[in-house]
């Protein structure tokens, strides 16, 4: 079955109910069967078939981040965008980092943030370019008037069948965007973050269960887990908490822009215990929890949001 009008209707119904309504996680969203599709990297949420649920019409804030100031990388689409919407609904101002080609997606998220009466600061640029990544945190601080949440979420995932075809250039860029930049942004951020702040890094189920086609990507995700646990200990005495979120298969533009072999798309997420892919808004709640003071005793943790696949 391809994504049918029925599935589209089910997605629309799911989006009418907010995340706090008692519901069955198996059927909260349909087990989508995305048609085979391809977008040039980095892909746009706008062009996903079917569209993903970023919580635009469902995420309900409960005042957990009032007055907070967050920088989110990769905030234009997917998990980062759903997190940006959730943070704004919880009362936070948000600075958004994204690639210039993602401006159409970013504009839409900025409108949702501003509709909450919150400030959105647009900071487009390429994290693989040092001129952009150096000083990014400072520009966010200037735009927001401070900073107390850093979400290191941008990621590059290009599937390659054989190690023989994995180029030096791809290895270097994947490591740079996924993990090296995380060191640098975190280093810049600790100049500004007051006690009570949170750094939240996006890792992946790939850290534990690497796909044969994602050697470079999966290796960076394992490094992110280790970086998170080490930095959490270093910053604990300063009252800065560092944690990670490890998503499983989530329907985002990362997947049809060479993140998966195209023939795998219709089955995406069906092998999880819940039997379906996750939607970005289902992951956003994990970032809200880790950013909010309610998780004050949670440090160095990797919160798995993966539909039930066992992980260490």
Binding of ligand NAD by 102 (CB under 6 A): yes
Distance separating alpha carbons of residues 95 and 161, to the nearest angstrom? 36
Give which of 197, 201, 194 is closest to 220, Cα–Cα.
201
Binding residue (CB under 6 A) for ligand NAD from 33, 56, 76, 116: 76
Closer of 61 and 253 to ligand NAD (Cβ): 253
Tokens 């994947």, residue located? 174
Among the listed residues 208, 217, 287, 297, the single catalytic one is: 217
Binding of ligand NAD by 186 (CB under 6 A): no
Is 217 labeled as catalytic in the residue annotation?
yes
Distance separating alpha carbons of residues 194 and 295, to the nearest angstrom? 16
Closer of 19 and 173 to ligand NAD (Cβ): 173
Min dist. Cβ of residue 142 to ligand NAD (A): 19
Binding residue (CB under 6 A) for ligand NAD from 34, 55, 80, 143: 80
Which range touches ligand NAD (CB under 6 A), out of 14-22, 124-132, 185-193, 286-294? Answer: 124-132
CA R_g for the chain = 18
Tokens 């996750």, residue located? 278
Binding of ligand NAD by 256 (CB under 6 A): no
Min dist. Cβ of residue 49 to ligand NAD (A): 15
302: Cβ–Cβ under 8 A, 6 or more apart, which residues?
A: 203, 207, 225, 228, 243, 244, 245, 246
Binding of Mg ion by 148 (CB under 5 A): no
What part of residues 68-107 is at the interface with Mg ion (CB under 5 A)? 76-77, 102
Binding of ligand NAD by 156 (CB under 6 A): yes
Closer of 7 and 202 to ligand NAD (Cβ): 202
Distance separating alpha carbons of residues 151 and 147, to the nearest angstrom? 11
Min dist. Cβ of residue 269 to ligand NAD (A): 8
Which range touches Mg ion (CB under 5 A), out of 41-49, 85-93, 220-228, 292-300? Answer: 41-49
Residue 202 near which of Mg ion, ligand NAD, none (CB within 5-8 Å, type-dependent): ligand NAD
> How crowded is residue 221: how many other Cβ atoms within 10 Å of its Cβ?
24
Compute how many residues bind ligand NAD; rule: CB under 6 A: 28
The residues annotated as belonging to the active site are 217
Give the interface with Mg ion as residue ranges (CB under 5 A): 42, 76-77, 102
């Amino acid at each position: 079955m391809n994504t049918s009008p029925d599935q589209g209707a089910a997605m629309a119904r799911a989006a009418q109910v907010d995340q706090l309504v008692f519901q069955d996680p198996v059927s909260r969203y349909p087990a989508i069967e995305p048609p085979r599709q391809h977008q040039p990297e980095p892909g746009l949420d706008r062009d996903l078939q079917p569209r993903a649920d970023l919580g635009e019409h469902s995420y309900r804030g409960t005042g957990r981040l009032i007055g907070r100031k967050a920088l989110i990388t990769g905030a234009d689409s997917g998990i980062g965008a759903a997190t940006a919407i959730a943070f704004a609904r919880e009362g936070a101002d948000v600075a958004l980092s994204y690639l210039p080609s993602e401006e159409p997606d970013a504009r839409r998220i900025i409108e949702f943030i501003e509709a909450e009466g919150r400030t959105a600061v647009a900071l487009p640029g390429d994290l693989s370019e040092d001129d952009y990544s150096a000083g990014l945190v400072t520009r966010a601080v200037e735009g927001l008037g401070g900073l107390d949440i850093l979400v290191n979420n941008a990621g590059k995932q290009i599937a390659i069948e054989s190690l023989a075809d994995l180029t030096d250039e791809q290895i270097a860029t994947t490591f740079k965007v996924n993990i090296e930049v995380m060191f640098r942004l975190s280093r810049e951020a600790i100049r500004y973050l007051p006690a009570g702040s949170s750094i939240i890094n996006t890792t992946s189920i790939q850290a534990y269960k690497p796909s044969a086609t994602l050697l470079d990507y999966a290796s960076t995700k394992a490094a992110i887990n280790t970086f998170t646990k080490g930095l959490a200990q270093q910053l604990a005495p300063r009252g800065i908490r560092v944690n990670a979120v490890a998503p499983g298969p989530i329907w985002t533009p990362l997947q049809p822009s060479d993140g998966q072999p195209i023939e795998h798309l219709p089955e995406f997420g069906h092998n999880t215990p819940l039997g379906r892919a996750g939607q970005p808004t289902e992951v956003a709640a994990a970032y809200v929890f880790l950013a909010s003071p309610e998780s004050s005793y949670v440090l160095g943790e990797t919160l798995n949001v993966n539909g039930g696949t066992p992980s260490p």
